């Protein structure tokens, strides 16, 4: 078991996962179902299939099947940019002078710059298989839109992206990458949809939110022949696809006989976190092993740590099904100074249920601390991290420093979801001392909770 651990552990192609793992299969209490906003009854497959591809609806609703085979075409695509490395952060450990062993699963080595491609390619594949013309979606920081445009280009599907306005303006280059892959990109809220016009009328000058952009993308999908809507986070299907992250991580750790003490991931809607922790949580649910599992969220958008666990709208326009989740209220829009990503008002229902049962922890961190950690990491590990990922870095460093105090050589594993190459405007603000740490007041949260639906 004392094999020397390389800086980067790469699985062989034949060691890559052949099936996704569905953590819901091992949950005693299943995540609460999506509800029809009109009838308040659980959404049926028939109802969902107007919005989502048929095969994805099946995955969304299936709480029992533990493993879904990854289709051969998707596995081929995965081989283009996977397995992603599990990196032993030797340089960071040295810099921190900690006895802890720090590992990170790095998902940024592809042009979308993040883990989002793992689900994008799956969703594009099922859309193509169903004979659709194209898909619509929203994107916040831009990673998901880029990932989806890459996936759609690969399968020759049309791709319409609604991009949260603040990101559209802060990240013009993201738009250009999507264009390279043939996607159309519209800043949201826009005048091109009913819901966009309504939101603009109610909140003139709004810089947008994921909730708004989702409403617009759904409206266009439902109103266009041969189109469906796809989503990059929150949904069960997305967490299923993202389990490839955790499965690879676990396989790499097992290969070297390493037992993780804690798994740390940033949490916006939950796509990375849910994927990363899936097999570890599975062991925990089955009573086979124990791990500390830590979600890290921005103090400016603190769904877990300050949210209500309740049914809520998934989007601002209230056109989507209701989901039970930790939520700040669908009307909640993070302050524009918040540096992109992790801006969603809610949280995956699956993760919400696990958190509610005490199977995982959550902490929130302020953004200047996040950027400090990001810069420290970049300087010793040679990767400029995405602000989203840097939330996990911050807490991993904190935990490593605790180990320094106690002298414990814990194994800390965190998810480095992506690179910050398109986040330099935020880095510049940080360097120029123009970044502040907005934290919503209790009054603001109360105000947005006032619109929670009665279920």
To the nearest whole angstrom, how small is the minimum distance from the Cβ of residue 395 to a copy of itself?
A: 21
**Closest CB to a copy of itself among residues 174, 284:** 174
How near is the Cβ of 116 to a copy of itself at its closest, in Å?
A: 13
Distance, in Å, from the CA atom of 353 to the CA atom of 349, rounded to the nearest integer, reads 6
Q: Which is nearer to a copy of itself, 344 or 427 (CB)?
A: 427
Tokens of 342: 């992790």
Q: What b/e string do you get for 35-61 counting C-beta neighbours within 10 Å, with b at 16 or more? A: bebeeeeebeeeebbebbbebbbbbbb
Are residues 109 and 181 in contact, defined by beta-carbon separation less than 8 angstroms? no
Q: By C-beta, is 10 or 438 nearer to a copy of itself?
A: 10
Task: Give backbone dihedrals phi and psi of 278, rounded to 5 degrees, phi first.
Answer: -45, -60
Least distance (Å) from a copy of itself to the CB of residue 420? 9
Choose between 24 and 174: whose C-beta lies nearer to a copy of itself.
174
Q: Would you call 197 exposed, middle or buried from its count of C-beta atoms within 10 A (0-12, 13-18, 19+)?
A: middle
Give residues in contact with a copy of itself (CB under 8 A): 6-8, 10, 12-13, 76-77, 79-81, 90-91, 109-111, 113, 117, 150, 153-154, 172-173, 176-177, 179-182, 375, 378-384, 419, 421-422, 424, 427-428, 431
Closer to a copy of itself at the Cβ: 9 or 293?
9
Q: How far is the CB of 127 from a copy of itself (least distance, A)?
A: 17
Question: Which position has the token pair 């990109």?
Answer: 185
Nearer to a copy of itself, 356 or 376 (CB): 376
3-state helix, strand, coil in the chain (%, to 5): 45, 15, 40
Phi and psi at 292, nearest 5°, equal -80, 130
Contacts of residue 454, Cβ cutoff 8 Å, sequence gap at least 6 = none
Give the nearest distance from C-beta 82 to a copy of itself in angstroms. Answer: 9
Polymer length of the chain: 455
CB nearer a copy of itself, residue 177 or residue 263: 177
Q: Are 426 and 435 in contact (CB under 8 A)?
A: yes
The nearest distance, CB 155 to a copy of itself, in angstroms, is 11
The whole-angstrom separation of Cα 78 and Cα 74 is 6
In angstroms, give the least distance from the CB of 455 to a copy of itself. 42
């Amino acid at each position: 078991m004392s094999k020397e651990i390389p800086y980067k552990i790469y699985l062989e192609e034949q060691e890559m996962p052949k099936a996704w793992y569905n953590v819901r299969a091992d949950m005693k209490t299943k995540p609460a179902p999506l509800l029809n906003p009109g009838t308040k009854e659980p959404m049926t497959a028939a109802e969902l299939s107007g919005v989502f591809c048929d095969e994805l609806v099946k995955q969304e609703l299936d709480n029992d099947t533990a493993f879904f085979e990854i289709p051969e075409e998707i596995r081929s695509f995965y081989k283009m940019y996977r397995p992603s490395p599990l990196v032993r952060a030797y340089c960071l450990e040295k810099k921190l002078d900690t006895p802890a062993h720090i590992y990170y699963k790095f998902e940024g080595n592809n042009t979308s710059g993040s883990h989002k491609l793992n689900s994008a390619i799956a969703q594009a594949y099922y859309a193509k298989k169903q004979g659709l013309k194209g898909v619509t979606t929203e994107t916040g920081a831009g990673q998901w839109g880029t990932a989806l445009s890459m996936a759609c280009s690969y399968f020759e599907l049309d791709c319409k992206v609604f991009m949260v306005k603040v990101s559209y303006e802060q990240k013009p280059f993201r738009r250009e990458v999507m264009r390279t892959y043939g996607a159309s990109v519209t800043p949201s809220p826009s005048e091109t949809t009913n819901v966009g016009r309504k939101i603009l009328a109610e909140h003139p000058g709004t810089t947008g939110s994921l909730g708004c952009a989702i409403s617009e993308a759904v409206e266009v999908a439902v109103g266009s022949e041969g189109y469906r809507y796809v989503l990059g986070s929150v949904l069960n299907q997305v967490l299923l696809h993202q389990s490839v992250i955790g499965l690879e991580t676990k396989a790499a750790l097992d290969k070297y006989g390493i037992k993780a003490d804690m798994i740390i991931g940033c949490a916006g809607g939950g796509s990375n976190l849910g994927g990363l922790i899936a097999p570890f949580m599975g062991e925990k649910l089955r009573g086979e092993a124990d791990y500390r599992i830590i979600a890290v969220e921005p103090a400016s958008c603190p769904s877990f740590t300050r949210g209500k666990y309740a049914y809520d709208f998934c989007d601002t326009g209230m056109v989507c099904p209701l989901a039970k989740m930790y939520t700040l209220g669908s009307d909640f829009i993070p302050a524009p100074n918040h540096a992109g990503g992790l801006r969603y008002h809610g949280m995956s229902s699956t993760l919400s249920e696990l958190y509610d049962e005490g199977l995982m922890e959550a902490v929130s961190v302020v953004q200047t601390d996040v950027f400090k950690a990001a810069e420290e990491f970049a300087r010793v590990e040679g990767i400029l991290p995405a602000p989203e990922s840097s939330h996990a870095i911050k807490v991993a460093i904190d935990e490593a420093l605790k180990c320094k105090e106690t002298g414990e050589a814990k194994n800390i594993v965190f998810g480095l979801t992506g690179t910050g190459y398109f986040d330099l405007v935020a880095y510049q603000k940080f360097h120029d001392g123009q970044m502040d740490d907005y934290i919503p007041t209790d009054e603001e949260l109360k105000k947005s909770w006032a619109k929670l639906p009665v279920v």
